[in-house]
Structure 1
Amino acid sequence: MYAEMDEYEEPPYQYVPVGDMQRPPSPENALEQSMLLLADGLASGALIARYEMLYRKHPELTCDVSSEAKNVNKNRYRDISPYDTTRVILKNAASGDYINANYVNMKINGTDITNNYIATQGPLQSTSEDFWQMVLEENCNLIVMLTTIVERGRAKCHKYWPNPGECLTMENMIVNCIREETDAAESFVFRDFILTDVQNNSERQIKHMQYVAWPDHGVPDSPAQFLSFTEKVREVRKGDPSPVVVHCSAGIGRTGVLVLMETALCLIESGEPVYPLEIVKTMREQRAMMIQNASQYRFVCESVHSAYLQTIDDAQEAKLFR
């Protein structure tokens, strides 16, 4: 049976403050103004208050396919289900077309860039082949993993990949691990896989980036390490339109933090204002409960502000050396 997880309580009413979700007029310094609003909201606590009033699950979107008898045991947690409208539909999986995964596409305002993601749960042993089938069918080249296999003695994700030099053989594909490296701080693990499509004998390389230093039931101690990891993800995905597979255990909390952070970095780079609550709303219209709790939301907002200040420092330093 699927694993137990704490129940999520919906707020007693669905309320999104209209004034907070709408954008103010966009003057030339809209990015700067949005960062001042962000800093003020963090200092006053208003930022968290508004976040906690936003719906966790879109009230008009269904998750019916996830609760069908044949699919129930494919869910890691009983209350984390993909919307029917944005769920990934498998085409050639022996187990059927269901996987607990959603497309999450984030348009970067003011540019022609859309960052495409597949947000999914950490595979169960019984769904690992479905996971790789999804990677194969969706032409994914990058997998971002934001959990370890076990945390606090509880299984968070099945080890769905082979050890270096070994291969994992499935009905429709073979996965070979050709490289595994850990960074000097032992915070990240980087792997390279070769994915072979058995049907046509074609191969492609898959990058696997795992963040192993995220503490149990918490957030990183400072934004610096997390920002470094997010920048590495951006470097690898650069110019690749295929969706990046992002997962933690449930595929909503840390997964949402990563998607929000990369979206914000792209907006800052483009000189566009950043409104984190709008980004959460956009994510939750595609997968329920993205950014799981207030501590994650506060952390990512602090990280966004830190990244903005770093760009200001970098710009000033560049002027000094001209």
Structure 2
Amino acid sequence: MTLADTGQRRASAPADARRRVVLVVASTAAVLLVLLASLAFGSRAVSLGEILDGLGSWFRGIVPEDIGAIAVQQRIPRTVLALVAGAALALSGALMQAITRNPIADPGILGVNTGAALFVVCGIAFLGITSVFQFLGLALAGAALTAVFVYVVGSVGAGGATPIKLALAGAATTAALSSLVSAVLLPRVAAMNEFRFWQVGGVGGATWETMAIIVPLLAIAALAAFLAAPALNALALGDDVAVGLGIRVGPTRALAAAAGVVLCAAVTAVAGPIAFVGLMVPHVVRLLTGPDQRWILPFSAVGGAVLLTAADTLGRVIGSPGEVEAGIVTAFLGAPVLVVIARRTRMRAL
């Protein structure tokens, strides 16, 4: 490294610090904005005073008399679930992109969402499952088995698990599993009616009971992801370099993959297979923060929370007096983003 390079790095350090401070402030403001919007808008718009009244009554554990405040209280669980689910999906996508060194990897494209959905469908059709615990267990099993299958298939042949092979294996697996989902549902009208609303993906069915089940699991997986961030930076340099830096490549990749699968499967169990959040958010965050996973992971979580909450709010506004599910809105937003990423990416390591 020359003296000029050292000087450039020292000069860029304050600029990077300022940019990250701006991102922290902007992210905090965005979370507060979408939170207020989610509480304010729906089939009935409410004022700021009604929001404060509803929140105050909720904290005190009483039911307000004003209908606007009542509407605010009813929107609190879905707002919290949208924030938590969006953060988990984006964090899962960031982990999968880091593990596979593939900028278009996410739980949907790699088939993890579909694997979880298939197991839930089989549980509904053949076992008659109804509880969140059962949904969660089947979703975790389906997501984990699908992730392992895609990685094994993508590792076959020369070069091992390259980004392009993993993407193709995930796409093929998703298509096959989607066909199996249809095959299970078509002859079973009752199961189809129960599944079709869940399949779209949304947070309208949020309850405190379901969140009490998944939030501890999500918190443990998120903690594991953040602890793995420095090692993921080393993995981005290649396995040989990572080993030379003292990183245990296999356990690190397994820990990050397990965290990503748990984050995705837990959300899928309660909100359905919501697509594109894990693809869009980490890609945009990487453009803003650079390649350091210690910044990509937390900012992806914040960005995912903002995106899914905004999508849920937008779906309620444009579908009023009904609603358009958040999964439809994120798919509508995500398809053009996927096209742009595919055009700008040469399928090389991040």
Whose strand proportion is higher, 1 or 2? 1
Shorter-chain TM-score: what band?
A: under 0.3
Normalised to the residue count of structure 2, the TM-score between the two structures is 0.25
Whose helix proportion is higher, 1 or 2? 2
Normalised to the residue count of structure 1, the TM-score between the two structures is 0.27
Higher relative contact order (CA 8 A, sep 6+): 2
